[in-house]
């Protein structure tokens, strides 16, 4: 076999269905809706607004990818977005801080939440699944405390302007998303730190025995996740012009869907940035097309759910996945729990 694949074969492999099914799904979506509803689906405005409206989901998904890469679940990520969104509004309106310190403090608090969560997971050996679930509830309480259950209105115009200003066709929030994605991609894929994060997620014990300080990695990824979800939360408030106490948790499922769907793209089972970003927009394009076609309101949720199940199912049945799929993990569990061996025997 040739050791150096040709450029052509590498490109073909890179965009092949097994490696990047979402691209092909996107092609199908575009073709189908271009035929059925060309005048609305192909309008430039549809696409520019699509890029902008998905920014918060996309940043939340990026935030999620980082701890997932290190093997930690963060079910509190939606609540973290909610807290940050509420906190920045609370500081600006209820406390009356200027914009820059309010945003700075909000981001610092978001990172602190991540730090606390990481320390709880590492120090008290609480499974990240459970710890983040607990934090999710705590953060919901914090949101209610700050908001009293009501929206905070009357955001200063600097913040609202920032949330809606454009460079050519791209809004500021979208540019922030791209910048964050570039940074995350660089760190995860190109640096020794990223390699250690993936190693920690791939095999915690082996990573530790290779001299990696896995506890620091786990805490660090949750701090980064907190910081990014803080950015997402500030952008929610900036784009809406108010702080809504109910908004955070709604981001959890789309972000998870995109992160898992993204893990089936490009990197053969590893959580990764570009796959996640692509997934956010493929899902959004599909939902948008359905909405423009006049589909009933329950369709988008169903679409997201099916997309996740099909994508992950296909990936694990093709055994692309590095991270064992949920199915494989359950199967493994069943095997180990089984009483050993055929103790019964045959006759001659």
Partner 1 sequence: MSDHLLEVRSLSKAFGDNYALRDVSLTVASGEIVALLGHNGSGKSTLVKVLSGVYQADSGDVSWGDAERPTSLHVVHQNLGLIGGLSIAENIDLATSHRPGWIVPTRRGKERREVRDRLRLFGLDIDVDTPVGRLTAAQQSIVAIARAFQMGGSGRNVLVLDEPTAALHGEEATLLHDAVKAAAAAGCGVIYISHRLPEVVDLADRAIVLKDGEVVAEKDRGSFDQSDLVRIIAGGEPPKHHASTSAASDDVRLKVSDLYAPSIRGADFEVRRGEVLGVAGLVGSGMEALNGTLFGATTAASGTIKVDGRLVGASAAQAVDAGVAFVPADRRLRGSIGQFSARENLTLTSHSGLLSRLGAIRISRERTEATSWMGRVRVRPLGAAEQRFDLFSGGNQQKIVLAKWLRTSPGVILLDEPTQGVDVGAQTEIYRLISEAADEGAAVVVCSSDSKELASLCDRVIVFRDGVISGQYSGARLTESALVAATIADGAAVPKEGVSS
Residues that bind partner 1 in the complex, under the rule CB under 8 A:
3, 186, 190-192, 195-196, 198-199, 202-203, 205-213, 269-270, 322-323, 337-348
Burial class of residue 347 in the structure, from the number of CB atoms within 10 Å of its CB (0-12 exposed, 13-18 middle, 19+ buried): exposed
Residue 294 or 339: the one with the smaller Cβ distance to partner 1 is 339
Cα torsion angle, 271, 273, 279, 280, sign: positive
Length of the chain: 348
Q: How far is the CB of 338 from partner 1 (least distance, A)?
A: 7
Helix (H) or strand (E) holding 166: strand 166-167
Q: CA neighbours within 13 Å on the CB side: how many for 53?
A: 13
Q: How far is the CB of 198 from partner 1 (least distance, A)?
A: 7
- Residue 239 sits at the vertex; the CA angle it makes with 25 and 111, to the nearest 5 degrees, is 90
Tokens encoding 41: 């689906």
Residue 157 or 344: the one with the smaller Cβ distance to partner 1 is 344
Helix (H) or strand (E) holding 170: strand 170-171
Q: How far is the CB of 317 from partner 1 (least distance, A)?
A: 17
Residue 166 or 190: the one with the smaller Cβ distance to partner 1 is 190
Q: How far is the CB of 62 from partner 1 (least distance, A)?
A: 19
Cα torsion angle, 147, 153, 158, 164, sign: positive
Q: How far is the CB of 125 from partner 1 (least distance, A)?
A: 15
Residue 66 or 283: the one with the smaller Cβ distance to partner 1 is 66
Residue 135 or 271: the one with the smaller Cβ distance to partner 1 is 271
DSSP secondary structure, 124-156, as one string: TT--HHHHHHHHHHHHHHHHHHHHTTS-B----
Q: How far is the CB of 186 from partner 1 (least distance, A)?
A: 7
- DSSP class of 324: P
Residue 96 or 192: the one with the smaller Cβ distance to partner 1 is 192
Q: Which residues pair with 166 in a beta bridge?
A: 171
């Amino acid at each position: 076999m040739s050791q150096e694949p040709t450029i052509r074969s590498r490109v073909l492999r890179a965009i092949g269905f097994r490696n990047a099914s979402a691209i092909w799904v996107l092609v199908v979506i575009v073709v189908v809706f271009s035929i059925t509803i060309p005048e609305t689906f192909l309008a430039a405005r549809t696409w520019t607004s699509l890029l902008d409206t998905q920014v918060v989901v996309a940043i939340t998904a990026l935030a999620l990818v980082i701890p997932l890469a290190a093997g930690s679940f963060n079910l509190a990520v939606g609540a973290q977005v909610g807290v940050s969104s509420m906190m920045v509004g609370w500081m600006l309106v209820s406390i009356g801080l200027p914009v820059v310190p309010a945003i700075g403090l909000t981001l610092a608090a978001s990172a602190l939440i991540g730090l606390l969560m990481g320390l709880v997971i590492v120090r008290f050996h609480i499974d990240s699944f459970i710890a983040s679930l607990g934090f999710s509830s705590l953060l919901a309480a914090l949101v209610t405390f700050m908001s009293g259950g009501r929206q905070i209105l009357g955001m200063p115009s600097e913040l609202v302007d920032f949330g809606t200003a454009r460079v050519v066709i791209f809004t500021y929030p979208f540019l922030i998303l791209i910048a964050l994605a570039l940074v995350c991609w660089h760190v995860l894929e190109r640096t020794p730190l990223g390699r250690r994060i993936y190693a920690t997620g791939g095999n915690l014990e082996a990573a530790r025995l290779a001299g990696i300080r896995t506890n620091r990695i786990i805490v660090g990824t949750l701090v980064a996740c907190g910081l990014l979800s803080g950015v997402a939360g500030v952008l929610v408030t900036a784009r809406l012009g108010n702080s809504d106490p109910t908004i955070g948790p709604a981001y959890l499922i789309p972000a998870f869907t995109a992160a898992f769907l993204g893990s089936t793209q490009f990197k053969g089972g590893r959580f990764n940035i570009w796959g996640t970003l692509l997934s956010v927009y493929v899902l959004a394009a599909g939902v948008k097309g359905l909405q423009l076609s006049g589909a009933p309101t329950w369709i988008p949720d169903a679409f997201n759910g099916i997309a996740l199940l099909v994508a992950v199912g296909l990936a694990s049945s093709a055994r692309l996945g590095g991270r064992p799929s949920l199915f494989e993990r359950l199967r493994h569990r069943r095997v180990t729990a089984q009483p050993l061996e055929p103790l019964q025997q045959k006759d001659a």
